[in-house]
């Protein structure tokens, strides 16, 4: 009989009973819509009114579908089919914690591909805020419980600007296992491994400590399994924070330049002014120009006075350096007040306890690598910008994930 008929009969039996309700049985009925008119099982005999659609009120426990089957042979076949479909794309059998692919499940390179290699998702680390020179990235380990085994992660980073041909300049490739965990890589990059909310889930991290301020960088990541397959690439593009600026020093230099430009400027004073402006960074030069124009523009702006006192050639050499400052940083460097801040934050530094044999990278499983980790500190330099003294705000790096 239809399920709703069974419920109605049981409810009627309880309502007609003089005794208390049957122990352990509770029935709650409510209107939850109607069955479609095409369903003949939902119609009650002799009544035009369609019965309500049954609604699942509560789930007591979750069990695999194959456990509901009584016949052992059918149960094992159903279990095998479900495991194959979930872990091996339906093109192989689950053996322990790996997939034995069917003969038809091989790619053009002759490698078995029934067990998919998931794409890692590269992201900024939420525990380390990017600064002008430091950026920390992380990703969750994509190795499934059954199937493909991740051997390594390959990380590429490169600086992208108008002076660089991105097609010719490939940047630097780093192997997480061979370069970073082994300690053979540069001291400017450190690797880490931690656990997420679930102990079985590993989170890998890489911190770059020697990037250029106000630089546009592109980071890419892909996984490599023990058979040599590569996953899809994950990309993050970001611009590092603006360079650290000593605002008090910039104002002092602006006053110094004004005094050198004021009145008759001798050849010695011209050379002192030229050397002073060429020695500071492009960001400091931008800030010097801002202070000069804020205090002394009525005597001529910075560009005009430099060309008049130093000559067009030397002035051009100085002023063209301002083109290196990005539009983002140039707008911030026009703030009324800037305060620099340097703080130290912890990061995880991990090293492998074992040496991976050369030429055997594909046959090692990264998750099984024994590592030792320690907490270290890194200095983070940032500018705080404000429209009035005592009220400052921070600016974060611009991030574009793909």
Report residues of the chain scoring pLDDT below 70. Answer: 1-4, 6-8, 10-60, 162-170, 185, 355-363, 388-402
Q: What is the pLDDT of residue 396?
A: 47
402 assigned to some structural domain: no
Which of 95, 115, 135 finishes a domain?
Answer: 115
pLDDT at 289: 93
The per-residue pLDDT for 54 is: 58
Instruction: Indicate the helix (H) or strand (E) that contains 26.
Output: none
Residue (of 378, 366, 376) closest to 181 by Cα position: 366
Those residues with Cβ within 8 angstroms of residue 175's Cβ, 6 or more apart along the chain or in another chain: 152, 153, 154, 361
Do 237 and 159 fall within a single domain? yes
Same domain as 299, residue 186? no
**What is the residue whose two structure tokens read 């050198």?**
260
Whether 399 maps to a domain, the answer reads no
Task: Report the candidate in 383, 385, 380 with the shortest Cα–Cα distance to residue 136.
Answer: 380
Q: Measuring CA to CA, which residue among 231, 202, 201, 204 is closest to residue 115?
A: 231
- Residue 389 is predicted with a pLDDT of 62
Q: Same domain for 214 and 355?
A: yes
Nearest to residue 93, comparing CAs of 151, 147, 142, 145?
Answer: 147
Taking alpha carbons only, the member of 208, 238, 243, 394 closest to residue 321 is 243
Q: Which of 218, 269, 223, 224 is nearest to 240 (CA)?
A: 218
* In a shared domain, residues 137 and 231: yes
Q: Give the domain CATH number at 181.
A: 2.60.40.10
249 vs 285: CA distance, rounded Å = 11
Total domains in the fold of the chain: 5
97 and 52 fall within a common domain: no
Classify residue 386: in a domain, yes or no.
no
Residue 393 lies in a domain: no
DSSP string, 111-139: -B-SS--PPP--EE-TTS---SS-EEEEE
Do 148 and 217 sit in the same domain of this protein? yes
Residue 4 belongs to what domain range? Answer: 1-29
DSSP-based three-state secondary structure for 40: helix
Say how far residue 43 (Cα) sits from the centre of its chain: 54
Residues 292 and 253 in one domain: yes
Q: Is 345 exposed, middle or buried (0-12, 13-18, 19+ CB in 10 A)?
A: middle
Same domain, 141 and 172: yes
229 within domain boundaries: yes
Angle at 311 between CA 308 and CA 316, to 5 degrees: 105
- What pLDDT, on a 0 to 100 scale, did the predictor assign at position 41? 60
Co-location of 313 and 254 in the same domain: yes
Give CA angle at 109 (103, 114), nearest 5°. 45
Q: Are residues 44 and 6 in the same domain?
A: no
What does the H/E/C string look like for 259-292?
Answer: HHHCCCCCHHHHHHHHHHHHHCCHHHHHHHHHHH
């Amino acid at each position: 009989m239809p399920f709703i008929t069974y419920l109605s009969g049981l409810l009627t039996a309880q309502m007609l009973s003089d005794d208390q309700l049957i122990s352990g049985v509770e029935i709650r009925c409510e209107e939850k819509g109607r069955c479609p008119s095409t369903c003949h099982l939902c119609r009650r005999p002799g009544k035009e009114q369609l019965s309500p659609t049954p609604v699942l009120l509560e789930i007591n426990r979750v069990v695999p579908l194959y456990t509901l089957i009584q016949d052992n042979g059918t149960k094992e076949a159903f279990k095998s089919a479900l495991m194959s479909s979930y872990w091996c794309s339906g093109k192989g059998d689950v053996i322990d914690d790996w997939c034995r692919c069917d003969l038809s499940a091989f790619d053009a390179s002759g490698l078995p591909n029934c067990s998919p290699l998931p794409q890692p998702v590269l992201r900024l680390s939420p525990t380390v805020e990017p600064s002008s020179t430091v950026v920390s990235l992380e990703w969750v380990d994509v190795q499934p419980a059954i199937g493909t085994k991740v051997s390594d992660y390959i990380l590429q980073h490169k600086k992208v600007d108008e002076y660089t041909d991105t097609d010719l300049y490939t940047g630097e490739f780093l192997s997480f296992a061979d370069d970073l965990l082994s300690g053979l890589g540069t001291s400017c990059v450190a690797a880490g491994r931690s656990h997420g909310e679930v102990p079985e889930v590993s989170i890998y991290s890489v911190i770059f400590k020697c990037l250029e301020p106000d630089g546009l960088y592109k980071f890419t990541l892909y996984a490599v399994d023990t058979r040599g397959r590569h996953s899809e690439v994950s990309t993050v593009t970001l611009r590092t924070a603006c360079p650290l600026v000593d605002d008090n020093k910039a104002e002092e230099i602006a006053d110094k330049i004004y005094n050198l430009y004021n009145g008759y400027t001798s050849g010695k004073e011209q050379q002192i002014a030229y050397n002073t402006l060429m020695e500071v960074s492009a960001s400091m030069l931008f800030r010097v120009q801002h202070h000069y124009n804020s205090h002394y523009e009525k005597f001529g702006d910075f560009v005009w006075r430099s060309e008049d006192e130093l000559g067009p050639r030397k002035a051009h050499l100085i002023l063209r350096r301002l083109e290196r400052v990005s539009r983002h940083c140039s707008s911030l460097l026009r703030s009324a007040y800037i305060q620099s801040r340097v703080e130290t934050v912890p990061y995880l530094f991990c090293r492998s306890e074992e040496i991976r044999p050369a030429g055997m990278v594909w046959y090692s499983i990264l998750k099984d690598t024994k590592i030792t980790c320690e907490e270290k500190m890194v200095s983070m330099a940032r500018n705080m910008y404000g429209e009035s003294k005592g009220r400052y705000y921070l600016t974060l790096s611009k991030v574009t994930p793909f």
